[in-house]
Chains A and B, each alone.
Chain A
């Protein structure tokens, strides 16, 4: 099976000598094509730092990262921009939709940036809008739609360019439980049907239970790994909760 992410001995330091803070230490992660991986951990564990590094908007202090066969440590700013545009899709907690663009335009933005022909753009946006159930709001502006709809638009934008890896940063963080379930099911479907590779950072055990595999980080180190395998989502949810309580500090984060 094709490996989408290979991270070896990733280390990230903040601050300077004497006042050094090690945010990540000896992180080794491999993610295969078609996986849906969750990353959990208490606040300050280094989840967001890790995601930023995979997103190529931050660089590790040392270590090797290969995403979709590309050594991202060797690329310069321009190449990284192109790489993000062509290979990565992003879903953020606060949606990050552009309020000057309609829903339709927000979704097609990555395609427009990649200069995909206009006919092709229309076809792909329609298809995705249908699968996320946002066809009726395509011509609305972001400030006219609900949070759940916004996050589905953001998800549509993330996958419209068929990225090799979708990175989701607390995608359900600002949603009510119904909208959250809705979004997670969409992501899960996307993963199953289109075998999209998704890496999701969350501190919500319920959200994590939709993943096929969950990694736990604590104090900048990989702490534990859970596989869903053939378990039901409910059973897996319980496993995640147990893991969190063993981590300590995670308690208050549970639902």
Chain B
């Protein structure tokens, strides 16, 4: 993977990092911050001690400080591009000013201190031969030690710059970033698929299913009027059987596309229905004040179906319990069984599928499954997201 910022570069290829552009960029990042702070400090010191009166000095200091703080935000954004190739979204004014103030007044000094310590020690050793008091062995060993230590200095500098960059990103653009956008776009995709499935279900229900039921009824009525035992009776009877088979098949087909119980009656009834079909006796405890958004309903239905299938197949459980509550816009679903435990998302694709599906709905899944049981799956899914329906 191509590292997008210095922290990723450090983490992905610790040795390759040394040959990359990141150490120098980190150094530049820290030095620019440090110099800005130093310049500000010196300027303030200058005007406050200058011989043109105390009031004028303070006034000038306030102006310089205000100017520096205002400049610091945009400056921070520019600096961040040195160590982070991911663009920031447009500015939020006050947040930028606040961060700029903290950065330039306080944190910039720390940047400088890290650079001085990291480079200062190897630098001092490298220049050992030029020290008048250095013994011959020191003049020889110093540069060797310095040459070894200098590359190592790249790591604290990179790490500190990375941490500062993460801090800057968190402060300047909270909750932003590519990840959230990916989650949202995935959720939109899942929603769109679900909406399409609901539409197909509706069309089948309103169209083919109703007509087949009507056809079935007509054939039933027709059978009343044909002479029993006649050729016509036999043909009508066969047609009737075919119509009934078609209806049964269509019913199962629709169940696979989008369960009608979910459309019509929502999560409590649908979950009880799944539980009722499970070979493991399952109690259902669901208390929801209102219908959930259709996308969330579909996710919960999928999760419960898959989880109960897994439990029936692998857990050896004798009992299972499903509970769901919603609070503050988040649906909490818990599925607990008294089986053998030891479920591991890394080994079973079933659990991975569950986690994927929940993540696609912008939610998260927690799994507790100690060896020997019990196993609890907990899904937290936000409900506020407006759904495409």
Q: Do A and B bind each other?
A: no
Interface residues of B (CB under 8 A from A): none
Residues of A within 8 A of B (CB): none
